[in-house]
Amino acid sequence: MQRICLFPGTFDPVTLGHVDIINRALPLFDKIYVGIGINTSKSPMFTAEQRMKWVADIYANEPRVESVVYEGLTVHFCKTIHANFILRGIRYVSDFEYEKTIADANRTLDNQIETVFLTGEPKYTSVASTIVRDIIRNGGDASPFLPDLVAKSL
Of 31, 51, 88, 91, which is the active-site residue?
91
Of 3, 42, 76, 123, which is the active-site residue?
42
Catalytic residue at 129? yes
Name the 3-class secondary structure at 70.
strand
Of 82, 94, 129, 153, which is the active-site residue?
129
Catalytic residue at 18? yes
Q: Write 128-132 long-range contacts (CB < 8 A, 24+).
A: 128/15, 128/17, 128/91, 129/10, 129/11, 129/12, 129/13, 129/15, 132/13, 132/15
Catalytic residue at 53? no
Our CA angle for 152, 56, 63, nearest 5°, is 135
Of 18, 31, 51, 88, which is the active-site residue?
18
Catalytic residue at 152? no
Residues forming the active site = 18, 42, 91, 129
